[in-house]
């Protein structure tokens, strides 16, 4: 099987390529790693490193001109999904695209530490918003004595999202997970450092190809060993994206994802007595009635509320920035739209 098919090339990509890269002498390629201003591309004839990332991210499909001179990326194909968050350590509110053209987002939840429901919900919102199908992957099942409880609790929390239980160590649940990734599909793993993402990939490939870190005694966290988002072929055109652990997950334009994950909460709003109910202490508020009767968990409401406010304040800052740009744009050169450059100074586990 040629390199490109191993990295997920399908008829769909072929179709996009024919419409967007009609130039003769151009061949399709996929970004399998974008790091420190360089990209690693998979091409039909093998891998190729190029300097400059031009705003490309792991998972992008591109056209590469290769007609004798030095090969160069001449176009990027439209993305069918975009996994993003608000850039960490950046007050100016920019998006950071973590990956593109992902079909499944695996929200990785390790069973060797207490379940963080807020983190799970937040990551699910981003996963749902990306355009990919979310699944929850519980890892390290061999380490948990009460994993039946946690599985049940997780299933209850994620409402309809599929939950798979795995152990890389005991080789449990691997075939089931592998079976979820169809030919030409890409699964991205998202989760905290030390959650077992790289170990899971090694177990799936049967190779020791991703670096894994020993967990520090005491806090159960991993050493930060995966330093860049990277595509790994599993054979038969199934692909998995390893990611460094993300410490936080600030949302970016994720209203649709929020509505998807918190449909039960938003469904209450029309039942409030006042149409403009702020769900604080108004009489006849359906949200507070539901909390009072035990129908809605207060923690879940507060989690929703926090993300909703975060998105609203992001929009306010965006429109202020937009106005400022409009008033100054006639005097200044356009800002560099390149992404990923300032990733260089970031801790390795938070790129």
Ligand X SMILES: Nc1nc2c(ncn2[C@@H]2O[C@H](COP(=O)(O)OP(=O)(O)O)[C@@H](O)[C@H]2O)c(=O)[nH]1
Phi/psi at 271 (nearest 5 deg)?
-90, -5
- Find tokens 């990551």 and name the residue: 123
Q: Which is nearer to ligand X, 10 or 227 (CB)?
A: 227
Report if residue 81 touches ligand X, rule: CB under 6 A: no
Report if residue 16 touches Zn ion, rule: CB under 5 A: no
Say which DSSP state 237 is in: T
Q: For the chain, first and last CA: distance in Å?
A: 32
Q: Which is nearer to ligand X, 64 or 135 (CB)?
A: 135
Report if residue 226 touches Mg ion, rule: CB under 5 A: yes
Which residue among 285, 291, 314, 339 contacts Zn ion (CB under 5 A)? 285
The set of residues, in sequence order, having a beta carbon less than 8 Å from that of 132 and lying 6+ positions away, is 81, 83, 102, 103, 104, 105, 188
* Euclidean distance between CA atoms 234 and 334, whole angstroms: 42
Q: Residue 285 touches which of Mg ion, Zn ion, ligand X, none (CB < 5 to 8 A by kind)? A: Zn ion
For residue 84, give both structure tokens.
């993003």
Window of 161-169, 194-202, 260-268, 340-348 that interacts with Mg ion by CB under 5 A: 194-202
Which residue among 198, 287, 303, 351 contacts ligand X (CB under 6 A)? 198
Q: Which is nearer to ligand X, 3 or 198 (CB)?
A: 198
Q: Which is nearer to ligand X, 240 or 287 (CB)?
A: 240
Report if residue 202 touches Mg ion, rule: CB under 5 A: no
Q: What's the maximum distance between 2 C-alpha atoms anywhere in the chain?
A: 74
Say which DSSP state 182 is in: -
Is 86 annotated as a binding-site member? no
Is 272 annotated as a binding-site member? yes
Window of 50-58, 65-73, 223-231, 282-290 that interacts with Mg ion by CB under 5 A: 223-231
- Long-range contacts of 334-341, Cβ-Cβ distance < 8 Å, separation of 24 or more: 337/55, 338/53, 338/54, 338/55, 339/53, 339/55, 339/57, 339/96, 339/97, 340/34, 340/37, 340/53, 340/55, 340/57, 341/37, 341/53
Query: Do 84 and 101 form a contact (C-beta atoms < 8 A)?
Result: no
Q: Residue 196 touches which of ligand X, Mg ion, Zn ion, none (CB < 5 to 8 A by kind)? A: ligand X
Window of 163-171, 221-229, 291-299, 322-330 that interacts with Mg ion by CB under 5 A: 221-229
As measured in angstroms, the least distance from the Cβ of 273 to Zn ion is 8
Binding-site residues for GTP: 139-142, 191-199
Interface residue list for Zn ion (CB under 5 A): 272, 277, 279, 285, 287
């Amino acid at each position: 099987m040629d390199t490109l098919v191993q990295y997920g090339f399908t008829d769909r990509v072929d179709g996009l390529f024919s419409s967007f890269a009609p130039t003769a002498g151009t061949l399709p390629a996929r970004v399998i790693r974008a790091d420190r201003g360089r990209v690693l591309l998979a091409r039909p004839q093998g891998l190729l490193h190029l300097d400059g990332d031009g705003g490309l991210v792991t998972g992008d499909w591109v056209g590469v001109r290769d007609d004798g001179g030095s090969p160069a990326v001449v176009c990027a194909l439209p993305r069918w999904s975009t996994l993003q968050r608000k850039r960490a350590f950046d007050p100016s509110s920019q998006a950071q695209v973590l990956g593109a053209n992902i079909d499944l987002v695996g929200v990785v939840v390790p069973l060797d530490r207490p379940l963080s429901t807020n983190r799970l919900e937040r990551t699910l919102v981003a996963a749902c918003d990306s355009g990919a199908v979310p699944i929850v992957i519980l890892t390290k099942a061999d380490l948990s004595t009460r994993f039946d409880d946690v599985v049940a609790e997780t299933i209850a929390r994620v409402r309809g999202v599929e939950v798979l239980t795995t152990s890389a160590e005991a080789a449990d649940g691997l075939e089931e997970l592998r079976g979820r990734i169809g030919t030409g599909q890409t699964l991205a793993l998202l989760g905290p450092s030390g959650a077992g993402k790289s170990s899971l990939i090694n177990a799936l490939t049967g190779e020791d190809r991703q670096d894994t870190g020993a967990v520090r005694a005491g806090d159960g966290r991993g050493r930060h060993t995966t330093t860049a988002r990277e595509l790994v072929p599993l054979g038969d055109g199934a692909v998995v994206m390893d990611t460094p652990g993300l410490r936080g997950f600030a949302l970016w334009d994720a209203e649709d994802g929020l509505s998807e994950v918190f449909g039960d909460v938003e469904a209450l709003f029309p039942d409030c007595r006042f149409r403009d109910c702020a769900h604080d202490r108004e009489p006849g508020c359906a949200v507070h009635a539901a909390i009072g009767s035990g129908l809605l968990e207060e923690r879940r409401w507060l989690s929703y509320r926090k993300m909703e406010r975060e998105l609203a304040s992001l929009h306010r800052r965006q429109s202020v920035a937009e106005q400022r740009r409009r008033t100054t744009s006639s005097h200044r050169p356009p800002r560099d739209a390149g992404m990923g450059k300032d990733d260089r100074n970031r801790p390795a586990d938070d790129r």
